[in-house]
A and B are shown apart, each in its own frame.
Chain A
Amino acid sequence: MPDLLAARSQMALSLAFHIIFAMVGIAMPLLMVVAERRWRRTGDPVFLDLAKRWARGTAILFAVGAVSGTVLSFELGLLWPRFMAFAGPIIGMPFSLEGFAFFTEAIFLGIYLYGWDRVSPRAHLAAGVLVAVSGAASGVFVVIANAWMNTPTGFTLTEGRAVGVDPLAAMANPAALSQTIHMTLAAYAATGFAVAGIHAFLLRRDPGNAFHRRALTIALLVGAPAAVLQPLSGDLASRQVAVYQPAKLAAMEALFVTRAGAPLTVGGWPDMARRETRFGLEVPYGLSLLAFHDPRAEVRGLDSVPRDEWPNVPLVHLAFQVMVALGSYLAVVALWAGWLAWKRRDPAKHRALLTAITIATPFGFLASECGWMVTELGRQPWVITGVLKTADAVTPMPGLVVPFTLFTLLYCFLGVIVAWLLYRQIIRSPHA
């Protein structure tokens, strides 16, 4: 395996692994806080049980998130020293702020998990709220850094060196707003639906179970609104990509030729040799409408980009289609559940809905992994769009296949253990 490929694979593996735990770390505290607050208000012990059980699961996932995040921050130097030497001063700022968010999160999570009978009820709930807020903040900061890689600002490039560095302008890059909104919503949608899916599955077997009914309600309360908003924020993201990252948009949509009034291709397989997308369903004017909100707008195709600067079109296109498909499914299920709740019908008694939610269990996480493939693969061959190529950023260290193999084994091992531990938490669920 060539070193560059090994480095990219190791980075992708580490991020794809970490992001799952990070998303849980953002959203789970919110679920716990809602459950705890319900308990304080109603005195119903089922809510307390729920909050405590969720807290146990979160403790496991949070620890894996913390260690895998540590790996990432070192890997930036281990794998991409030249990228960091260039980007550190420009984009280190959000990472430094993220550091403080981590501190707040870790401190108050310790208090939340171990402090049930050490601090006052109010202080305990407040600790939970702080964990939820700082978790979301740390996600926002790191995504700002990623958005800068996509649409770099805050410096001028002179003979390969960055001059006139302005870290605040770098943080205010064009992709920052749409990406942070989309990512934060993704965390709530994915985690909310994963939790809802598990409890919906158990409810189908044991319909009267009060524990699972309450869990389902809270999880949907967090996950469903986010899932409904997600396509809207995705639209915001697409329009940003259309303006600032035309090569990525062309790859996402498998659009080979620049044209006005471009159609939207649903599905299909980009045939790289013939430079056309086959077997797709074309919606006339769809792409121009979506990307620029104007049916006649011109959309740049891959022909506007030199061939050696194309990303991997089939992969990016496929990943994008899968994300949108999964996102649409989640949004529809969320609307359905909302409709039933509005009609005052109990979603927990609606078997078809429970089945639909059960199917959706992994969808949010899958959509997020696909979204990151779109973002990262779609940026290739650049690590910083238009500024630094990935191939020029990689470490000179040879034999990178060895650490890649090592971390692959380590993460597979951890993944299996975590899955098994969570499974045990769930099968021991109460039969109230």
Chain B
Amino acid sequence: MSLADVLAGVIVVALNCYVLLGGADYGGGVWDLFASGARKGRQRELIAHAIGPVWEANHVWVILVVVLLFTCFPLAFARLGTTLHIPLTLLLVGVVLRGSAFTFRSYGGEGEQERHWGRVFAVASLVTPILLGVIVGAVASGGVHAPRTADQTFWSTYVQPWLTPFAFSVGLFALACFAFLAAVYLTVEARDDAVREDFRWRALVAGVLVFVTAAVALLFARIGAPRVWAGLLAAPWAIPLHLLTAAAAIGALTALWSRRWRAARIAAAAQVSLILWGWALAQFPYMIPPDLTIAAVAAPAVTLELVAGALGLGAVVLFPSLYYLFKIFKSAASAAS
């Protein structure tokens, strides 16, 4: 395994962190949109309370992904930015609206205004994960190919790669995963049992939706993403990975059913991470199928070595700081306060 492979792995790790942390923040927004029943206000309060102190830090993971991508795999970054210009631009609009609306709601106004910003925040939280999934789906499908010079049209170069049933099925799947993660985490963070039960039900429903959307995506993968399909079925690691994922999924749902909240949180996180790694392994050694392998797009060795060194040093600072942040705001004691 080369240094480039390792760094590609680090990018997947960063993406994994973004999905588990940032993804759950999006999911929180989705549940804000679907807040309902007698405890509507308290549900929203819990969501805002859970996201407030950590969303900026959670958001930085995606920046790390982008920065590592353009430093270590510049040609892949250039290809993505060119071919997926449209969904990436829409994704950015979603990111901007969500982040600023959340802050405006917390610091801005009360009453009418707070409601407006809450709505913007919630809708952006619903749309942005779908776009993220569409982008991942487009990459996995092998549609992000080099612009063909012969029969090139705007449609075939900039729209077709991502406007596919498979990419959109991955989008819905991502949304379901994020909503599921958020609901499971919120059962741990809830401060009263009634609200906790609300999120338990939501988590169970979302868990079922994860299954449904995964099945749909898999169905489309057969034609839409043959490489992923083949990888997920034929590779030697495929069966163990499927078994593990299934175990995590069933574990998460049974833990929710039997109200073992912390176990459910671990199992849900494991389930979503395994799915992500399944995708990454299925397209290895390609960074952007069908033509760009990790080795082909890697930066010169010096750059990779320096970045690896910086990552090592950075991790020494980063992980204790993150631990401290989460300890302050996510420990049982603070949940009780």
One digit per residue, 1 when the CB lies within 8 angstroms of any chain B CB and 0 when it does not, for chain A 384-398 equals 000000000001111
One digit per residue, 1 when the CB lies within 8 angstroms of any chain B CB and 0 when it does not, for chain A 157-169 equals 0000000011110
When chains A and B are docked, how far (Å) is the Cα of A93 from the Cα of B100?
A: 29
Closest beta carbon of chain A to B226's beta carbon, Å? 27
Q: Of A113-121, A208-216, A330-338, which binds chain B?
A: A113-121
Q: Of A73-81, A249-257, A307-315, A354-362, which binds chain B?
A: A73-81
User: Residue B95 contacts which of A67, A89, A395 (CB distance < 8 angstroms)?
Assistant: A67
The total of chain A residues at the interface (CB under 8 A) is: 65
Q: Of B80-88, B137-145, B273-281, which binds chain A?
A: B80-88
Asked if B57 contacts A99 (CB within 8 A), the reply is: no
* Chain A residues within an 8 Å CB radius of B163: none
Question: Is A100 at the interface (CB under 8 A from chain B)?
Answer: yes
When chains A and B are docked, how far (Å) is the Cα of A4 from the Cα of B108?
A: 38
* Chain B residues within an 8 Å CB radius of A291: none
Asked if A63 contacts B100 (CB within 8 A), the reply is: yes
Question: Is A339 at the interface (CB under 8 A from chain B)?
Answer: no
Question: Is A56 at the interface (CB under 8 A from chain B)?
Answer: yes
Closest beta carbon of chain A to B269's beta carbon, Å? 20
Question: Is A104 at the interface (CB under 8 A from chain B)?
Answer: yes
**Nearest residue in A to B77 (C-beta to C-beta)?**
A77
Question: Is B165 at the interface (CB under 8 A from chain A)?
Answer: no
User: Residue B63 contacts which of A78, A81, A99 (CB distance < 8 angstroms)?
Assistant: A99
When chains A and B are docked, how far (Å) is the Cα of A276 from the Cα of B60?
A: 50
When chains A and B are docked, how far (Å) is the Cα of A73 from the Cα of B67?
A: 7
User: Residue A74 contacts which of B92, B147, B322 (CB distance < 8 angstroms)?
Assistant: B92
Question: Is A430 at the interface (CB under 8 A from chain B)?
Answer: no
Closest beta carbon of chain A to B204's beta carbon, Å? 30
Closest beta carbon of chain B to A159's beta carbon, Å? 16
Number of A-B contacts (CB under 8 A): 205
**Nearest residue in A to B89 (C-beta to C-beta)?**
A403
**Nearest residue in B to A78 (C-beta to C-beta)?**
B81
Known: A103-B57, A104-B321. A395 touches B82 (CB 8 A): yes
Asked if B99 contacts A110 (CB within 8 A), the reply is: no
One digit per residue, 1 when the CB lies within 8 angstroms of any chain B CB and 0 when it does not, for chain A 380-416 equals 0000000000000001111100010010001000100
Within 8 A of B (CB), among A67-96: 67-71, 73-74, 76-79, 81-82, 84-90, 92-93, 95-96
* Chain A residues within an 8 Å CB radius of B106: 59
Question: Is B41 at the interface (CB under 8 A from chain A)?
Answer: no
Q: Of B212-220, B234-242, B254-262, B324-332, which binds chain A?
A: B324-332
* Chain A residues within an 8 Å CB radius of B99: 63-64, 66-67
Asked if B306 contacts A168 (CB within 8 A), the reply is: yes
* Chain A residues within an 8 Å CB radius of B337: 118
Asked if B71 contacts A107 (CB within 8 A), the reply is: no
When chains A and B are docked, how far (Å) is the Cα of A243 from the Cα of B285?
A: 47
Question: Is A106 at the interface (CB under 8 A from chain B)?
Answer: yes
* Chain A residues within an 8 Å CB radius of B72: 89, 92
When chains A and B are docked, how far (Å) is the Cα of A344 from the Cα of B14?
A: 55
* Chain B residues within an 8 Å CB radius of A421: 104, 107-108
Closest beta carbon of chain A to B74's beta carbon, Å? 3
One digit per residue, 1 when the CB lies within 8 angstroms of any chain B CB and 0 when it does not, for chain A 335-369 equals 00000000000000000000000000000000000
Question: Is A111 at the interface (CB under 8 A from chain B)?
Answer: yes
* Chain B residues within an 8 Å CB radius of A414: 96, 100
* Chain A residues within an 8 Å CB radius of B92: 70-71, 74
Within 8 A of A (CB), among B25-72: 52-54, 56-57, 59-60, 62-64, 66-68, 70-72
When chains A and B are docked, how far (Å) is the Cα of A424 from the Cα of B107?
A: 11
User: Residue B307 contacts which of A78, A96, A109 (CB distance < 8 angstroms)?
Assistant: A96
Interface of B is mostly: helix
Asked if B77 contacts A88 (CB within 8 A), the reply is: yes
When chains A and B are docked, how far (Å) is the Cα of A118 from the Cα of B333?
A: 10
**Nearest residue in B to A414 (C-beta to C-beta)?**
B100
Max chain B Cβ within 10 angstroms of own Cβ: one of A69, A89, A110: A89
Asked if A78 contacts B88 (CB within 8 A), the reply is: yes
Asked if A84 contacts B56 (CB within 8 A), the reply is: no
Closest beta carbon of chain B to A160's beta carbon, Å? 15
Closest beta carbon of chain B to A393's beta carbon, Å? 10
Asked if A92 contacts B299 (CB within 8 A), the reply is: yes
Question: Is B9 at the interface (CB under 8 A from chain A)?
Answer: no
* Chain B residues within an 8 Å CB radius of A87: 74
Question: Is B246 at the interface (CB under 8 A from chain A)?
Answer: no
When chains A and B are docked, how far (Å) is the Cα of A398 from the Cα of B134?
A: 22
Known: A74-B66, A98-B67, A397-B85. A60 touches B59 (CB 8 A): no
Asked if A113 contacts B53 (CB within 8 A), the reply is: yes
* Chain A residues within an 8 Å CB radius of B324: 107, 111
Closest beta carbon of chain A to B195's beta carbon, Å? 20
Question: Is A102 at the interface (CB under 8 A from chain B)?
Answer: yes
Question: Is A232 at the interface (CB under 8 A from chain B)?
Answer: no
Asked if B318 contacts A67 (CB within 8 A), the reply is: no
- Listed in ascending order, the chain A residues whose CB lies under 8 Å from chain B are 56, 59-60, 62-64, 66-71, 73-74, 76-79, 81-82, 84-90, 92-93, 95-100, 102-104, 106-111, 113-115, 118-119, 165-168, 395-399, 403, 406, 410, 414, 417, 421, 424
- Listed in ascending order, the chain B residues whose CB lies under 8 Å from chain A are 52-54, 56-57, 59-60, 62-64, 66-68, 70-72, 74-75, 77-82, 85, 88-89, 91-93, 95-97, 99-100, 102-104, 106-109, 147, 154, 158, 299-300, 302-303, 306-307, 310-311, 314, 317-318, 321-322, 324-325, 328-329, 334, 337
A-B contact list, 5 entries, CB within 8 Å = A64-B99, A84-B81, A93-B303, A110-B53, A115-B328
9 tightest Cβ-Cβ pairs between the two chains A and B: A92-B71, A77-B81, A88-B74, A89-B299, A81-B78, A63-B103, A106-B56, A114-B53, A100-B314
Supply 8 further A-B pairs (C-beta < 8 A) apart from A96-B67, A107-B57: A59-B103, A63-B103, A88-B71, A93-B310, A99-B64, A107-B322, A397-B158, A399-B154
